[in-house]
A and B are shown apart, each in its own frame.
Chain A
């Protein structure tokens, strides 16, 4: 596609439920990143995929968070047993390679009630 596509754009979930957030990167981009941004805060790095290499998971805040990237394209971020502090905008970005600037998707606004 023309840009990075994320779905859903908004998600309200009850505390304790699991959620899946989807990212469809720009075609041909080998690098894919997940960040989150809480209200009034900076972007917090979560995870980075580069081609077929093992992902860099160093930013995942707890073992409730996981992500996968199938076929080197679409990625899914899963949050298990959601907590209220997980409420944030989750942003996905892709790049032509690990050394390039990113293009961000419009994000998924997650609200845990």
Chain B
């Protein structure tokens, strides 16, 4: 099993749609999780942190399911500007220290 798996997509959705991405991780000891967005030929930018069961920030909701070892990202009322690749990143080791392991990302394209 790969350390972090994401559906590569692309997810093509119309403006205003709700879209959800899942990410599975293999290290059951991971304690903290992050979602990043990456625009084409740009660096990743931190979108959300997930430390417990979930987190919500405006149109974005992240949920963590430790038993099944996956995290999800829900985007409501999609905007054209949401078009990007979304990277899931659990911490590599247990505890609160150490590097993140990044998935290859899910590509989202929001159409008018």
* A positions within 8 Å CB-CB of B: 33, 35, 41-43, 45, 48, 50, 56, 59, 91, 98-99, 101-107
Contact = CB atoms under 8 A, between A and B. Distances in A.
Interface of B: 32, 34, 42-46, 49, 87, 92, 96-105
B43 A56 contact: no
A104 B44 contact: yes
A60 B43 CA distance: 20
Nearest to B96: A99
B46 A101 contact: yes
Nearest to A31: B97
Contacts of A104: 43-45
Closest 6 CB pairs between A and B?
A: A99-B96, A98-B97, A42-B104, A104-B43, A43-B102, A101-B46
A82 B78 CA distance: 43
Given A98-B98, A102-B100, A106-B43, 20 more contacts: A33-B99, A42-B102, A42-B103, A43-B44, A43-B87, A43-B102, A45-B100, A45-B102, A48-B98, A48-B99, A56-B98, A91-B43, A91-B44, A98-B97, A99-B32, A99-B97, A101-B34, A104-B43, A104-B45, A105-B43
